[in-house]
Chains A and B, each alone.
Chain A
Amino acid sequence: MAPVNAVMRIIDVPLRRLQKATGIGGMATFFLAPNMLIFGIFVLLPLVINFVYSMTGGTAFFLSERDFIGGEQYSRLFQCQNYLDPMSCQEDAFWTAVGNTFWFVVLQVSLMILTALITALILNRELAARSFWRAVFFFPVLLSPVVVGLIWKWILQRQGLLNFGLYQFGMDPYTWLTDRNWTFAATIGVSLWAHMGFYALIILAGLQAIPKDLYEAAEMDGTKPARVFWRITLPLLAPNLLVVVVLALIKSVQVFDEIYVLTGGGPGTSTLFLTQYIYETGFASALRNPGLAAAASILMGGVLVVLTLIQLGIGKRGENKGKR
């Protein structure tokens, strides 16, 4: 303990001086400052800069070389004859990406919750080698998105593992990644595979936090398993499920890296999602337009904020009605 005490004494002196000078409240500011600084530089400032970018035009990267054009980028994004038909819009790629992302989010998030819940329920039972199975389902979460994309590309491509397997069983190979529907399904399947373990883990933690004796009380009363699930497990799992929905939704709207590696948005624009649109518009295309990309990302951020607020509102209401 002696060295610890010595260090403490050294720190003690300046801190006491500081507190005398600033008062207790000032100390809170002092301790929070480093964090606030990092948050300010790496989150808040880019947000503001991004917003400024969305008000400028041209292809130049430096803000000083860009012209202020007000809300023109936004009105360009919304320039449409018919919002349900992307092709009638000036920025048809944006609206295609919005449509793709919408369907992706709806399908992926609902399947995600369903599969994660079922997986967690199974992993929560007394089964042989339970730790092993828990690890197996969590393992893909640890992979880098690029690796995920490459693994599945290697499986699904024309001369990939899947077709090799089909061939072995005497079936015809198929060009999965050039079929619009199969590719879209694959993006959902791959992202489920890659992230499901994470959400299953959150739900599993929630399941294990439910006291065993509630189930025993239900057992004494002869409660049928389905009723136990709907009336006990699910309501008590609600807080965890809410967290899962919020996180899964945000992640799903932002889907990019593993899908970009797997499909590159194709075939055609069938798996072009919002983040990829933003990336390509701002950085990768020949006619890059950072202002338009910034405007699209501000819109996307706005949607995420609204979604999250709605969910937190639902959660709050449930909580007030609920336990404590």
Chain B
Amino acid sequence: MGEIKLTDVKKSFGALAVLKDIDLHIKDGEFVVFVGPSGCGKSTLLRTIAGLEKVSGGEIAIDGKRVNEVTAADRGLAMVFQSYALYPHMSVRQNLAFGLENSNMPKAEITERINEAARMLEIEAYMDRRPGQLSGGQRQRVAIGRAIVRRPTAFLLDEPLSNLDAELRVSTRAELAALHARLGSTMIYVTHDQVEAMTLAHRIVVMRAGKIEQVGTPLELYNEPANRFVAGFIGAPHMNFLGADVLAVSAGAATLSFSRGYRADLQIGKAKLHVGEKVTVGVRPQHLVVSDDPQHPAVKIYLVEALGSETVVHGDLGGEKVLAVLPGQQKLNAGDTVHFDLSKPVLHVFDDNGLRLFTHPGSGA
């Protein structure tokens, strides 16, 4: 079992409030990813769950039992550190055994667990080497192995892939997902990389400045971001944001006016809009479509990145920066002007406070 429940968790370092009222329910066997910009408190949250930091308020419960006062060792969790934290003077085998020896486990069982983990992670060939004699990827596996042998109720992983090169990161990511499927234990994974979050998570917890901004499946966050921050953080490249005024509102529809007076008609569903209200319209770079109609907003291109499979266009729409990812290889150059039809793509509309009011479903490409 590995159900973790956080209620109103707070953490301060002196006067600095790092975590503010965190409420979160992680189900047994779930793969949850904490994501957010650097310094938002992800590691701190993970470390309070681990028991390496004491909470300043609120409650942490594992499998229904309050663990605030329980030591890190007795919470039954295992942590994989960003730096791996392998003991440099011990062999891989000794590193794996060290934690088990603390609990007076019989030698035979220690050996069995180590061998099983070594097989699973394919680290058998270098069990007698020291961490200093291993590559980054190998060390990473040993660090995960050290967590596995403890058979924890949940794994806590703090940016475990951040020290690997890009290629290894992608392959290890896939292996981690497979490992989770095989072990079936709860995993909490911290990263600042939203791609890692999207590919690994059952549910993503988006954090900012010590607060949870939104919790949801990767596609929920992508399709229905709760606010401008989540919309901008999830998805690569980042969503474009354009300022707009509400010109007219009728039942289920509204007309927005963008800079330079460009207009678009949006379906607003049941959302309430007022004429004259200022809103922000978010559109993903992949959703923008080029139009031949010169009535549509003009974008002056200042940079074209041809990636072969797609073409990334950096441009300027009435003073606001926009980025478009167009399919295939486009015959466009810096200095050209293109027109984007703003009623066709999915548009997320946010109010003054950044909260999402509604999403215009668009009409596709």
Q: Which residues of A contact B (CB under 8 A)?
A: 211, 213-214, 216-224, 227, 231-232, 235-236, 322-324
Contacts and interface: CB of A to CB of B under 8 A. Distances in A.
A322 B87 CA distance: 11
Given A214-B85, A323-B130, A324-B132, A220 B79 contact: yes
B89 A235 contact: yes
Given A211-B85, A236-B88, A322-B130, A220 B102 contact: no
A101 to B, nearest CB: 35
Contacts of A217: 79, 81, 85, 87, 146
A324 B133 contact: yes
B77 to A, nearest CB: 7
Nearest to B98: A221
30 contacts: A211-B85, A216-B52, A216-B79, A216-B81, A216-B85, A217-B79, A217-B81, A217-B87, A218-B98, A219-B72, A220-B52, A220-B73, A220-B79, A220-B99, A221-B73, A221-B102, A221-B150, A222-B71, A223-B73, A223-B98, A223-B99, A223-B102, A224-B102, A231-B87, A235-B89, A322-B89, A322-B130, A323-B89, A323-B132, A324-B132
Given A216-B79, A220-B50, A227-B102, 19 more contacts: A211-B83, A213-B85, A216-B52, A216-B85, A217-B146, A220-B77, A220-B99, A221-B98, A222-B72, A222-B102, A223-B99, A235-B89, A322-B89, A322-B130, A323-B88, A323-B89, A323-B130, A324-B132, A324-B133
A3 to B, nearest CB: 42
Contacts of A232: 87
B87 to A, nearest CB: 6
Given A323-B130, A323-B132, A222 B85 contact: no
A324 B74 CA distance: 34
Contacts of B135: none
A213 B98 contact: no
Main secondary structure, interface of A, reads helix
Interface string B63-92: 000000001111001110101010111000
From B73, B78, B103, B132, name the one whose CB has the most chain A CB atoms within 10 angstroms: B73
Nearest to B95: A217
A218 B103 CA distance: 12
Nearest to B143: A217
A231 B102 contact: no
Main secondary structure, interface of B, reads loop
A217 to B, nearest CB: 4
Nearest to A227: B102
Q: How large is the interface on B (under 10, 10 to 19, 20 to 34, 35 or more residues)?
A: 20 to 34
Nearest to B73: A222
A224 to B, nearest CB: 7
B129 to A, nearest CB: 11
Nearest to A214: B85
Contacts of A216: 52, 79, 81, 85
Interface string B45-71: 000001110000000000000000001
Contacts of B81: 213, 216-217
The 4 closest A-B pairs by CB, nearest first: A222-B73, A221-B99, A213-B85, A217-B85
A213 B52 CA distance: 10
Interface in B132-164: 132-133, 146, 150
A216 to B, nearest CB: 5
Nearest to A236: B89
A227 B74 CA distance: 17
B51 to A, nearest CB: 8
Contacts of B52: 216, 219-220
Nearest to B150: A221
A213 B80 CA distance: 10
Contacts of B83: 211, 213
Nearest to A212: B85
B21 to A, nearest CB: 26
B87 A214 contact: yes
A299 to B, nearest CB: 38
A4 B99 CA distance: 58
A236 B88 CA distance: 8
Contacts of B73: 219-223
A322 B81 CA distance: 22
B242 to A, nearest CB: 44
B103 A222 contact: yes
B42 to A, nearest CB: 16
A236 B90 CA distance: 10
Contacts of A219: 52, 72-73
Contacts of A222: 71-74, 99, 102-103
A227 to B, nearest CB: 7
